[in-house]
Structure 1
Amino acid sequence: MNDQHPGLEEFTGAQPLPSFWQAAACFGGVLLLISLGLFVFQISLHALIFLALVWAGLHTRSLGYSFAAIRGMMNDGITKALPAIYIFMLIGMAIASFMHSGTIATLLYVGLDWLSPGIFLAAGFVLCSLMSVATGTSWGTTGTIGVVLIGIGDAMGIPLPLVAGMIVSGATFGDKLSPISDTTNLAAMSAGTNLYRHIGSMLYTTLPTFIIVLIVFILWGWQYGENPLPGRHLDEIRGALADSYRLNGWITLLPLLLMFGMSIKRYAAEVSMSCSILLALAIAIGYQGKDAVDAINALWLNQPGNTGIASIDELLGRGGLYSMAWTLLLSVMALALGGILHHAGFLRVLLLRLIAAIQRASTLIATTILSGLAGNLAMGEAYISIILNCQLFKDAYREKDLDPAVLSRSVEEGSTLTTGLIPWTTAGTFYAATLGVPTLDYALYALLNLLNPLVSITMAVLGIGLLRMRLKR
């Protein structure tokens, strides 16, 4: 017996798969329970996930699985996402340490000096895209430059859901395309294609979408250019920051540059973030003159700043492990639910019925993308959805003579792009907690995430970007 997951060996094929209708009832019941409870009755999402766990557990028990096996499924669902959970906790500490080192304050000071409301959305989108490509992490981008842009956008009077949607769009761009992104590598590996073949395939659909989104943000930003932030207010914010921190960028930006450089060198995200946190603490204590005990305690629970400007003080008080507790607990529960739905075969049974009926390549791609969305809805984590969908659709793509890079691209567009739009996924809860904007509020403005799957499906219908097996190198 597996000591880590008692009963895990019991769901390796010993029990029968659910029928199509039972799978539909289980999965549909989970979605109905969460949607009605959240949008109609305003019930806590944590409580709804618990009820969904009970619902899925009862369906699984009816298939003949023991409680030990069901618990093993839950444990396995959580275990597979532990790397994301580790990064999640580290980002909370990184935000707090960057606040105390003056890193965020310096970026905010400089940003207020050269970003104007009219170009803010377009420039912010490009900045987030570049940083996420360079670092390979949407979470790190959101937790650093994203936090800065939220503060600047708030000071400029731009609606925060719009700013958050712009940040998520840019952060997701790099998370999808960067050769050092975990999801990019995972999708290529799971689909059985070369990493750079996978990236090249994604450029067919992602670059046109990027251009469309950039144009929209440029046009959208013009309406705010007519009402720029009063210079006096701008000067007050910069003055308050200069009074509270020593803003020598050669020193205060070192933690961010260290994380950037180590990411390029392909160090593990946990290592690069830990080193950045330690360097930020050293700068906070040795350069900013912060009390050592207060700076270290901030890694658990940060405290508001003392600039005298309420919105800036609130921004500077973000971060710390405690601030991530709500999100972390929700993610763990959602991952446990995903473990049940995956291992008991509910999602697999639904998808196999759909795959068998597919005739056209464009329909296969659209189904793959929608399956990624369904996987995120059910399992709360893009990693699991990517692996599962590559396994389910690999033979279908081979039968249609489609290159595995088309499979990996479609899986990413269904899984990586939609995970941040769902309130109970690890990404959706993280973005909401980090940016201070509810997932459903910013989701309508995360234009890259919304449009890229639609562009991909449209191009597939038109026969554009359908790489064939015979073209594989």
Structure 2
Amino acid sequence: MGHCDSGIIPPARQYTVHSILEVEVLEYQKQNEKKLPPVGLSAAVIAISAFVIGFSVLKLKVDAHIPILIAAIISALCGMLFLGKKWDDLQEGMLNGISLALLPIVILMMVGVVVGVWIQSGTVPALIYYGLKILSPKVFLVAALLSCSVVSLATGSSWTTAGTIGVALMGIGSGLGIPAPITAGVIVSGAYFGDKMSPLSDTTNLAPAVAGGELFDHIRAMLWTTLPTYLIVIAVYTFMSMKFHGQTVDAQAVETIRTTLASQFNLNLMTLLPPVLVILLAAKKFPAIPGLILGTLAGVIVAVVYQGASAADLITAAHYGYESSTGVEAVDKLLTRGGLDHMMWTISLIICALSFGGIMERCGYLESLLNALSKIINNVTGLITTTIFSSLFGNLFLGDQFLGIVVPGRMFKPAFDRLNLAPRMLSRTLEDCGTLTSPLIPWTACGGYMSAMLGVNAFSYAPYAVLNWLNPIVAIALTFFGIGIFYKKD
């Protein structure tokens, strides 16, 4: 969902590509009917909010929930004191912000259930078991990148990718001695490459809709920035793998993991049915919630038939997650996860972030700054660079990937028109940063989801999610050198 890109199966969220545009058009009209806040006030509120969140998370090492709520309170107070906003208006903004994530929240809950059931069914253990047999440290990073890229291209969803093969790859990487943040970063890079480039992705459809362009013109334009980045990423991961070339895998430890898995679960090809079913349904654009239900039911059937699981076992795994007690620490750490309860931390973070984003949006702080910037930019490089950073700030302060695309898109579209740039330039730029940086921020839905699925904090895996932070840099560099720039006459 790149929203992230949606849930495990994003196509069901595609209704929001149109509905969110309708909401944003109405909001844009409201903003035009009233005066935006002064630039100085907007800058001050954003700076204070950034300090509160950044200092708390980075310096105090606390979770982002309460700092985000403090920033929301500050933003709301400034809106009421200096802009004359009524609480009911701000509350409506909060509720509108939260409403953007209602389906992703339900999907997050369902994904927790799915993972717990899939471990109980032997699905995740089977993927780890066979993966440890096939892969080695020297090829693991590139193999993980390519496999995640293929799945996300086929499904259009980074969330599907992370929730299926991503979970298994984390286990395989651990068994091979690869640090978890590195494995998670590679998974995120591959998942978001396909998510960004697939015509099935909701953000890939949203960006050209915002810019007023065509879908496949947009995808072709993205190749100019994304393909070079992807090739560099492959080279980087190949280079990183060199440190593992000489690393002797503890064959006994790997064999202990595989033997333990085989002794605890009945591992066969049928245990792989649930993820195959989910991926096929996603590729066919099957609705998200029914798709997850079918994936869960497939896991339940496999668990009962092949693992002898009882109803109590399955309900417990679905609610609280699977708890492994094999006595082998490495295996227990890999398999103790999933469950509905496991997702509550992430869901509460998303609600806090979108409440904050709703207040910021309703007060117009970010729009005020973007509007001022759009009027003074008079060259292509400056416009592309500013749009990229605006998408990043949108993800940071609005808490939602869709808003990180829509808000800068609507504010900078006149500037792109003024410079006679083709719509695909705007849509490409929105995706180069808006889509790709969202999983690097812990309090966005994407960052929260990836952290929950992969078991690694977003700030920890971000340095290794090379595609996600390198693509915006490549986009700016290519623009500076006049490469891949399209005008309306082209």
Matched, 1:24 2:43: yes
8 Å CA contact 2:53–2:71 kept in 1: the answer is yes
Output the CA distance in 2 between the equivalents of 1:190 and 1:268.
24
8 Å CA contact 2:76–2:90 kept in 1: the answer is yes
8 Å CA contact 1:118–1:225 kept in 2: the answer is yes
Corresponding residue SS for 1:424: coil
Matched, 1:409 2:411: no
In the alignment, what sits opposite 1:221? 241
Task: Tell me the C-alpha RMSD between the 2 structures.
Answer: 1.8
8 Å CA contact 1:240–1:308 kept in 2: the answer is no
In the alignment, what sits opposite 1:286? 305
How high is the TM-score relative to the length of structure 2? 0.91
Deviation larger for 156-165 or 113-122? 156-165
Matched, 1:12 2:30: yes
Q: Deviations over 1:148-204 (max 9, x none)?
A: 111111122221111111111111111111111111111122222222211111111
In the alignment, what sits opposite 2:173? 153
Deviation larger for 398-407 or 211-220? 398-407
Matched, 1:468 2:490: no
Output the CA distance in 2 between the equivalents of 1:307 and 1:203.
47
8 Å CA contact 1:96–1:302 kept in 2: the answer is yes
In the alignment, what sits opposite 2:380? 361
Output the CA distance in 2 between the equivalents of 1:408 and 1:323.
35
8 Å CA contact 1:156–1:228 kept in 2: the answer is no
In the alignment, what sits opposite 2:472? 453
* Per-residue deviation, 1:90: 2.1
Output the CA distance in 1 between the equivalents of 2:435 and 2:251.
40
From 444, 452, 456, the counterpart of 1:425? 444
Corresponding residue SS for 1:253: helix
Output the CA distance in 1 between the equivalents of 2:215 and 2:300.
36
Q: Deviations over 1:411-460 (max 9, x none)?
A: 01121111111121111122222212121111111100111011111111
How do 1:9-408 and structure 2 match up within 5 A?
Answer: 12-13=30-31, 16-62=35-81, 63-249=83-269, 251-408=270-427
Output the CA distance in 1 between the equivalents of 2:423 and 2:62.
42
One-letter identity of the residue aligned with 1:158: I
How high is the TM-score relative to the length of structure 1? 0.94
Deviation larger for 225-234 or 178-187? 225-234
* Per-residue deviation, 1:358: 0.8
Higher relative CO (Cα under 8 Å, sequence separation at least 6) belongs to 2
Output the CA distance in 1 between the equivalents of 2:116 and 2:60.
35
One-letter identity of the residue aligned with 2:112: G
Output the CA distance in 1 between the equivalents of 2:80 and 2:428.
36
In the alignment, what sits opposite 2:9? none
Question: Which runs of 5 or more structure 1 residues have no equivalent in the other structure?
Answer: none
One-letter identity of the residue aligned with 2:199: P
Query: May I ask how many residue pairs the two structures share in their alignment?
Result: 463
Question: Which runs of 5 or more structure 2 residues have no equivalent in the other structure?
Answer: 1-22
* Per-residue deviation, 1:205: 0.8
Output the CA distance in 2 between the equivalents of 1:81 and 1:412.
19
* Per-residue deviation, 1:225: 2.0
One-letter identity of the residue aligned with 1:417: L
* Per-residue deviation, 1:387: 1.4
- Percent of aligned pairs with the same residue? 40
8 Å CA contact 2:260–2:331 kept in 1: the answer is no
Change (3 A) 1:239 1:43: closer
* Per-residue deviation, 1:41: 2.6
8 Å CA contact 1:15–1:64 kept in 2: the answer is no
Structure 1 stretches (4+) deviating beyond 4 angstroms? none
Output the CA distance in 2 between the equivalents of 1:46 and 1:116.
39
Deviation larger for 138-147 or 72-81? 138-147
* Per-residue deviation, 1:15: 5.2
One-letter identity of the residue aligned with 1:258: L
